Structure 1
């Protein structure tokens, strides 16, 4: 096979991997538009409805590190194929669900499959594209899929829910999953893992997954029990203890799930922490923004999806090619700082959207800033997060990137939704009208989201360093 043919083969493999990632990421938000319909159909309470989203995000975020490490051990292609199979089967169960329990359980299994597949994708991309320039372009494509998938999900969810039913937001994954599997088997290069003898830290995975689940549960239930109640404090303390146990385990284990040496890099640690803050703000905005458009402005599901279309357009227009050139010209660190400022500005504009908002005057400027900021920010952030990963650790580094993304989404959603609900209920008790109270609750949540991303700006300025420019490496054919 000639060098050009190998290059073309790698780019086709990238498309296949990104198709799998799009399906997984899209599923994290496609359900948001359908939430009011699902709530009415299956009888969810307002607080229980958040578990339709969190039941997916929690196992996803909690298992990514274990999946990434296992992919390093047994081979990343095997882990990717297994994850797509589990995700596709669980999607079918979600579509068939007629009860709250079945839907939440199937969403949990979806999260497991999503973690298995998503954890290794970025590591496979970094391995396939070792040269600085081509790696930047490949990560730009991946970043587009990872970032745009959320906003595309809102549009697709609106179309499917409006045209057919909410069940089809899950059924649509089945043919996509089958096609992705068939293409991946034939066209995605495989490589030998480093061997099971190296071991995988199952105890560490249990500690971090259980700790995260209890943490999200604590935040979600704080609206019912009170932030200072014994229930909230005890369960929250248990969550902190489990996560502290996870860190201790990683420091003492012979085969840690997350080798702490990875976090010695300022860029790896800083970029992942910034991603938690950025995704917390943006994902909470998608969830609550969809509810704002539906409950306050009375948009139908299709209108909600179209309302967020500028986010997808902004991300798509910048992630594919433009971001790589901008990063090369100004440096990933500087680009990320500017992007975070734009996202913060967009969230601040959302805090000013009134009860009688006009789309062009009040919503469009905010979502446009969010799209531009995300389109520039995610590729730069992912490049920084993977900048110091070695070949043997690329799987776990990829898993860490995806973990902080999902943890940020789950915790951000839990915090912002809980704060918005509590503030709204307080205003209703004071006799404020429902529409005004609901809008005020959303404003408070959007303001907190803006504060989280603004904190990311501070960290980017003080912690991150521009990676050294690496020489382009010769194209090395991947082992099959």
Structure 2
């Protein structure tokens, strides 16, 4: 029996499952809430800091603590889902998300809130990769999965903007505690519906051992990398602490590689990286995340600092971008079937680069319709197209047994890329601020344009094997 024939019954069963569209809505809701929470809390940091008496450094850790645990535990969460059950881990993450939302809303002191936000990162590290892994298991590779990924990416884009709008409204009307209370009813609903709509799935292979050494080393290494990226703009890229921690990260990474090569059941199976398509999908995910987060840093500081926009007005001014992203996501899933991954990915990175360059015309005297809107629309199209193509590439040929860890790697790539984008663009803004009030913003957008141009080259060379109708498969190890 061929591999295709052996896989056909499960594929047909998944296509025939009438619950899969409802399951997709549930999984996208989880992704939406993780992003919505992150974006709305960004808006609330100044208000929270003032109310709880946090210093600027302590206030930064409302965001950084969450990012650190989220990024550091993603791989561990993805692999644990493969071994223990993806639906089970998804529900555990959702339950923790519910609890930490309540703890955050009820916090009366800074340390309590910072601890709750760090625990929120743990819940997100369980929810995000398992939700994507369940989606991968529910929708077979090809057009059905591409459509599901288009919905996933479109909802994520909406979550980013709605988070800004909703965060501003809740802050104005109900106070910062409402930013967390709003999560509670949604989390309860997801917990009720998960056993009904989601099938349990796990790695049914013979190797059920858990790679404890690899899990500890990779988690510490990834967490340390996120920490270095978060702290580098403040401490300086060439400071002793930054360089010292970078050396420790490289040593931990080398140790992880050695341990993983010797492990009978590695946390990061080497077979996942033998495909240029899978490798390229994850590398490009890092670059797209750098662009998405980096551009957000420039526009938020420009709009709130220079133009004096309120949070709600800022959210409304950005609404054109997620609308364009939704259009781009649906265009991408149709183009993937006809053109293949590489042309779609190249188009996405090119649009992101061009959109960034268009936004270098930012000026207080300029019209929104002529200096901001065109760049937002072009950038938004690229931001919608990119994730659909890159997630499809990153999960191409991945066996059901590895769906959780492969999803964890891809989500981790996005988180690391986001932290790197914020760090790089923040450094560019600070280093060019002395040249004039707008010099830093223009330099920041040119930096984003350069990242997009580099992404075009990476996509062209790494995704050469991902042609239409023949995506490179990850070698299967029996």
Report the Cα distance in structure 2 between the residues aligned to 1:384 and 1:5, rounded to whole angstroms: 21
Residue 242 of structure 1, aligned match among 244, 252, 255? 252
Report what 2:96 is aligned to.
86
User: Would you say the 8 A contact 2:203–2:401 is kept in 1?
Assistant: no
1:196 Cα offset (Å): 9.7
1:258 Cα offset (Å): 1.0
Alignment map for 1:27-426 (pairs within 5 Å):
27-44=37-54, 48-130=58-140, 132-194=142-204, 198-319=208-329, 321-424=330-433
Once the two structures are overlaid, the 10-residue window that deviates more, 226-235 or 449-458, is: 226-235
CA deviations over 1:400-424 (Å, ceiling 9, x no partner) = 1111111111222233224423543
**Unaligned stretches of 5+ residues in structure 1:** 472-480
User: Would you say the 8 A contact 1:66–1:200 is kept in 2?
Assistant: no
Report the Cα distance in structure 2 between the residues aligned to 1:9 and 1:470, rounded to whole angstroms: 29
TM-score (norm 2): 0.88
Report the Cα distance in structure 2 between the residues aligned to 1:423 and 1:131, rounded to whole angstroms: 46
TM-score (norm 1): 0.88
CA RMSD between the two structures: 2.6
User: Would you say the 8 A contact 1:58–1:111 is kept in 2?
Assistant: yes
Report the Cα distance in structure 2 between the residues aligned to 1:358 and 1:296, rounded to whole angstroms: 14
Report the Cα distance in structure 1 between the residues aligned to 2:263 and 2:461, rounded to whole angstroms: 31
**Unaligned stretches of 5+ residues in structure 2:** 1-11, 472-478
1:386 Cα offset (Å): 0.8
Report the Cα distance in structure 1 between the residues aligned to 2:107 and 2:372, rounded to whole angstroms: 34
User: Residue 200 of structure 2: SS of its match in structure 1?
Assistant: coil
1:49 Cα offset (Å): 4.3
User: Residue 342 of structure 2: SS of its match in structure 1?
Assistant: helix
Once the two structures are overlaid, the 10-residue window that deviates more, 266-275 or 83-92, is: 83-92
1:344 Cα offset (Å): 1.2
Once the two structures are overlaid, the 10-residue window that deviates more, 112-121 or 325-334, is: 325-334
CA deviations over 1:30-69 (Å, ceiling 9, x no partner) = 2223344334444555555443222222221221111111
User: Would you say the 8 A contact 1:13–1:187 is kept in 2?
Assistant: yes
User: Would you say the 8 A contact 1:58–1:407 is kept in 2?
Assistant: no
Task: Give the number of equivalent residue pairs.
Answer: 459
User: Would you say the 8 A contact 1:327–1:380 is kept in 2?
Assistant: yes
User: Residue 339 of structure 1: SS of its match in structure 2?
Assistant: helix
Report the Cα distance in structure 2 between the residues aligned to 1:4 and 1:271, rounded to whole angstroms: 25
1:325 Cα offset (Å): 1.4
Report the Cα distance in structure 2 between the residues aligned to 1:82 and 1:303, rounded to whole angstroms: 37
User: Residue 162 of structure 2: SS of its match in structure 1?
Assistant: helix
Once the two structures are overlaid, the 10-residue window that deviates more, 210-219 or 183-192, is: 210-219
Once the two structures are overlaid, the 10-residue window that deviates more, 284-293 or 216-225, is: 216-225
1:248 Cα offset (Å): 2.7
CA separation of 1:188 and 1:346: change in aligned 2, threshold 3 A? same
Report the Cα distance in structure 1 between the residues aligned to 2:91 and 2:168, rounded to whole angstroms: 29
